[in-house]
């Protein structure tokens, strides 16, 4: 479903007016009206608020979920940061315990790629073009599916291997060549781990991660997808550039932690905890 249809469907299920929904989400009536008419789209933070509202009203947002498997088309200009430079053919050989499993990771934001490699003296930034033609692509929207798919790939669901939830996320990307999903970078490990250990709820988690607007990552899972990635440009980072990026990265990390702590406090009673989700089978 498109966003305007989703907003209308949520209002109809809840039996509320645009004005009442706006009040519940702490936005203006005009904002909700623009969402429903397609003139504006909700931000990731607003979408997280809509999911929390559905949770409170007993509405299953999964019916509207934006996770789709589609045949890829077109191409995307992306960035890949390498700690020591790429050699040979591009292959899906990252660490297994990454956000979406073993693959070749690329991002939509240049600064994000740069801050990941700024502390390595042989760091290289690559601009790449990923051709999605004839690929099977899974696109995952910000939400609990996104968080639990990351949880699965980081080994956080091993204690419930026999559960329906484990099987769902183990098989979610089966047969896919590429996953497109929002970034949950290294500095957010603490927030994710707090969710997995039961300190914060799903609503606090999704709000914390989506508020950072770190961009999307494209993960080539198969050799086929990797063969359709072309290096457009490459750049070595000077010592001066790395030092400046390191300072900026640390400042962004501190601000991210401060922002996440504030969001977690505001949403400490909203949503469900990790064990509740696991025990309830979603």
Q: What domains sit in the chain, N to C, each tagged with a CATH number?
A: 3-64 (1.10.260.40), 73-280 (no CATH)
The Cα–Cα gap between 1 and 226 comes to: 30
pLDDT of residue 227: 96
Name the pTM for this structure. Answer: 0.70
Taking only the tens of pLDDT, the chain with its 282 residues reads 678 888 888 888 788 889 999 999 999 999 999 998 888 888 877 887 888 888 788 777 766 666 666 677 788 899 999 999 999 999 999 988 888 999 999 999 888 888 888 888 998 999 999 999 999 999 888 777 888 888 888 888 888 888 888 899 999 999 999 999 887 655 566 777 888 888 888 888 877 776 666 678 999 999 999 999 999 999 998 889 888 888 887 777 777 777 777 877 887 778 888 888 777 655
Residue 258 Cα distances to 61, 163, 164, 212, angstroms: 29, 35, 35, 11
Contacts of 167 (CB under 8 A, 6+ apart): none
The Cα–Cα gap between 249 and 242 comes to: 10
Other CB atoms within 10 Å distance of the CB of residue 270: 18
111 φ, ψ (degrees, to nearest 5)? -60, -35
| Two structure tokens written together for 142 | 């910000």
The Cα–Cα gap between 173 and 137 comes to: 9
């Amino acid at each position: 479903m498109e966003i305007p249809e989703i907003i209308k469907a949520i209002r109809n299920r809840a039996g509320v007016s645009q004005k009442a929904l706006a009040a519940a989400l702490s936005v203006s009536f005009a904002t909700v009206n623009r969402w429903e008419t397609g003139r504006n789209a909700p931000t990731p933070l607003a979408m997280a608020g809509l999911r929390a509202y559905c949770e409170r009203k007993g509405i299953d947002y999964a019916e509207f979920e934006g996770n789709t498997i589609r045949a890829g088309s077109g191409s995307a200009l992306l960035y890949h940061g390498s700690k020591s430079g790429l050699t040979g053919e591009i292959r899906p050989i990252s660490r297994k315990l990454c956000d979406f499993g073993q693959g070749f990771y690329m991002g939509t934001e240049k600064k994000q790629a740069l801050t990941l490699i700024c502390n390595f003296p042989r760091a290289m930034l690559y601009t790449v073009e990923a051709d999605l033609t004839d690929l099977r692509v899974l696109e995952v929207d910000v939400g609990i599916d996104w968080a639990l798919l990351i949880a699965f790939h980081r080994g956080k669901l091993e204690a419930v291997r026999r559960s329906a939830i484990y099987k769902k996320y183990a098989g979610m990307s089966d047969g896919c060549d590429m996953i497109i999903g929002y970034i949950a970078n290294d500095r957010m490990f603490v927030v994710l781990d707090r969710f997995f250990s039961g300190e914060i709820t799903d609503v606090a988690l999704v709000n914390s991660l989506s508020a950072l607007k770190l961009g999307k990552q494209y993960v080539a899972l198969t050799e086929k997808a990797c063969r359709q990635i072309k290096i457009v440009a490459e750049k070595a980072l000077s010592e001066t550039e790395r030092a400046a990026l390191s300072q900026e990265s640390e400042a962004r990390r501190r601000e991210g932690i401060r922002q996440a702590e504030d969001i977690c406090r505001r949403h400490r009673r909203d949503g469900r905890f990790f064990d509740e989700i696991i025990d309830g089978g979603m």
